[in-house]
Amino acid sequence: MTTLALTWTAGLSLAAWLWLALGQGFFWRTDTRLPPRAEPETEPREWPAVAVVIPARDEAEVLPVSLPSVLGQRYQGRAEVILVDDGSSDGTGETARGLAGAAGPQALPLTVTSPGPPPPGWTGKLWAVRHGIAVAAERGDAEYLLLTDADIAHEPESLRDLVEAAEANGLDMVSQMARLRVVTMWERLIVPAFVYFFAQLYPFRWVNRPGGRTAAAAGGCVLIRRAAAERANVPEAIRHAVIDDVALARAVKRTGGSIWLGLADRVDSVRPYPGLAELWRMVSRSAYAQLRHSPWLLAGTVAGLVLVYLAPPAAAVAGAVTGAWPACVAGAAAWCVMTATYVPMLRYYRQSPWWAPLLPLTAALYLLMTVDSAVQHYRGRGAAWKGRTYARPEPDAEAEADASA
């Protein structure tokens, strides 16, 4: 690369980072949280009924950590928990029943049910969610549905806080991005960046803006009014979606619902991703679906990742070595802006800010995971998860998803 080309590339990278830092909804800030708990005199006079729906497939290992926290919710209204055993082979249902039996008389009531195999055109999780919602409808008149994953642990006031936020702000859907586990070296390197990249794609402030087009949710913790779900015809309308949380948010917002998304303080994922292989599968199983299985979007994404994340350190080093100081300065400046925007997310995850300069390395790994996701798709193994592989949606289903975007 010539000195001029290197300088232009570094300059473009710096311009991109200045725009991202200032013009992309301040995505890097981590202060979008549920409002503080209301004072007693401002609480709802009558707490609405809630049905908690947990789709679970082969989750016996994590349920002893997560399920007791759901059953132990301190909620002033009526609430019940419906765990949908989605064809598990590890005794998930039996484990759940045993935990409920040991939870004590003050625990929320638990129902364990199974919908059978998903029919063609449905993902397993959404088929399980549909069954759980149907069971809830048969049981009573729950005004809200809490859709939460089997690996999500809730502090005792979590359900109350979610309902309070929805009631006080007239929201149809409240979703919290659970704090993922960060223990191993690979988790420290990759997990905070996962949330950082998600927020860059879907800035929370844009998601929460009334009338805005941006829509997203975090599937591990979604409180939704049952009336809003019925109006949006979910989960039927998104039955094919691999990235179901974003599809759900789009469906609700498209039908006039008001949504909110933020980072969680009282909701945590307990699922371990101890090594690179587990994290790789987590990202690659849906990365190409995020790009709508488009080779052109894949090429654009790769080029964008190279320009935005890899070019700054490369220009800084190459410029210093070759004496191309304008390129070195521009590359170093872009790298500094990138690093500074990543520090708040590391602090949210209680990690050292010294991980921030390594974000280009993490981005390179995500680039490879995305390419691998496309390769696996064309080999017929795309969107594989827990023994199931989901093919690309039929053209009419993809058109429906595009329209909802």
List, for residues 260-272, the tens digit of each pLDDT value.
Answer: 999 999 999 999 9
Provide the pLDDT confidence category of residue 403 given band limits of 50, 70 and 90. very low
Report the pLDDT value the prediction gives residue 400, as an integer from 0 to 100. Answer: 43
More confident residue, 87 or 393: 87
What are 165-185's pLDDT values in tens digits?
Answer: 999 999 999 999 999 999 999
Report the pLDDT value the prediction gives residue 290, as an integer from 0 to 100. Answer: 87
Provide the pLDDT confidence category of residue 285 given band limits of 50, 70 and 90. confident
Instruction: Give the mean model confidence (pLDDT) for residues 123-149.
Output: 93
Cα gap 124→57, rounded to integer Å: 9
Q: Is the pLDDT of residue 327 over 70?
A: yes
What are 222-232's pLDDT values in tens digits?
Answer: 999 999 999 99
> Quick one: which of 215, 255, 217 has its CA closest to 233?
255
What value does the mean pLDDT of the chain take? 91
Provide the pLDDT confidence category of residue 398 given band limits of 50, 70 and 90. very low
Provide the pLDDT confidence category of residue 354 given band limits of 50, 70 and 90. very high
Q: Are 125 and 33 in contact (CB under 8 A)?
A: no
Cα gap 216→203, rounded to integer Å: 9
More confident residue, 140 or 122: 122
Report the pLDDT value the prediction gives residue 42, as an integer from 0 to 100. Answer: 58
From residue 57, how far is each of 40, 105, 341 by CA, in Å?
Answer: 39, 27, 37
Angle 215-216-219 from CA coordinates, rounded to 5°: 150
Report the pLDDT value the prediction gives residue 396, as an integer from 0 to 100. Answer: 40
Q: Are 177 and 206 in contact (CB under 8 A)?
A: no
Phi and psi at residue 83, to the nearest 5°: -100, 120
Helix axes 311-322, 325-348, angle to 10 degrees: 140
Report the pLDDT value the prediction gives residue 141, as an integer from 0 to 100. Answer: 84
Q: Is the pLDDT of residue 41 over 80?
A: no
Phi and psi at residue 345, to the nearest 5°: -70, -40
Cα gap 327→236, rounded to integer Å: 52
Q: Is the pLDDT of residue 131 over 50?
A: yes
What are 189-206's pLDDT values in tens digits?
Answer: 999 999 999 999 999 999
What are 333-349's pLDDT values in tens digits?
Answer: 999 999 999 999 999 99
Report the pLDDT value the prediction gives residue 379, as an integer from 0 to 100. Answer: 83
Q: Is the pLDDT of residue 3 over 80?
A: yes
Provide the pLDDT confidence category of residue 121 given band limits of 50, 70 and 90. confident
DSSP state of 209: S
DSSP state of 393: P
From residue 389, how far is each of 212, 216, 379 by CA, in Å?
Answer: 34, 24, 11
Instruction: Give the mean model confidence (pLDDT) for residues 93-122.
Output: 93
DSSP state of 324: -
Provide the pLDDT confidence category of residue 402 given band limits of 50, 70 and 90. very low
Report the pLDDT value the prediction gives residue 7, as an integer from 0 to 100. Answer: 95
Tell me if the bond preceding 393 is cis, omega within 30° of 0.
no
What are 47-96's pLDDT values in tens digits?
Answer: 999 999 999 999 999 999 999 999 999 999 999 999 999 999 999 999 99
